[in-house]
Amino acid sequence: MRRPTIALVDSGGTNIASVRYALDRVGADARLTDDPDVIRAADRVILPGVGAAAAGMRRLHAAGLVEVLRDLEQPLLGVCLGMQLLFDRSAEDGGTTCLGLLAGEVVAITPRPGQRVPHMGWNELTSLREDPLTSGLADGTRAYFVHSYGAPVTGDTVMTTDHCGTWSAVVRSGNHWGAQFHPERSATAGLRLLTNFVLEVSP
């Protein structure tokens, strides 16, 4: 059986090698690329990323990938910063226009007594609705997070997590999915999510 082809968008993140290794473990043929034709031809597309929204969008604009990503018909998964870039806007760096594939603005997480920012480490997931991407991830499943900005809970939210408030942990709108946590660092839960993305989801 042919291995599904995954275009792993070269967004400059330091986590890309780990994401690629995790995809190989779940049986995907992952190719790191910023070539629009390769991205359009892939069975699935993953937009990883760490760092700031403005820098991430500048890199996508420089590579001519903004409209490519907006026009994809196959499943697209944003991971960490990649998920945040799917939204309309991020408040980071004074305000950044993002891809606009999900409605809402990503905002700074405000520290609370006993809870620090960035939100870093293992935290529990809470399911709001069923989705093929999160099949097998029960309430209370723990995943690994590293972020200082959070995506709002909206009608597109599939799973949430709580840290200085409640934030979207997994989102979906049509053929666009996002995971705020790092699946490549989330052990069994992360591998299950990636397996679901590679084998189970459809546009």
| Residues known to be catalytic | 80, 182, 184
**Rounded to 5°, angle at Cα 36 from 35 and 41:** 105
Tokens 């666009």 — which residue?
176
Q: Six-digit token pair at 152?
A: 């709002």
CA–CA separation, 141 vs 47, rounded Å? 23
Contact between 69 and 85 under an 8 Å Cβ cutoff? The reply is no
Q: Six-digit token pair at 20?
A: 């690629």
CA–CA separation, 166 vs 116, rounded Å? 14
- The CA distances from residue 69 to 47, 59, 77, 109, 124, in Å, are 9, 13, 11, 27, 30
- DSSP 3-state assignment of 23? helix
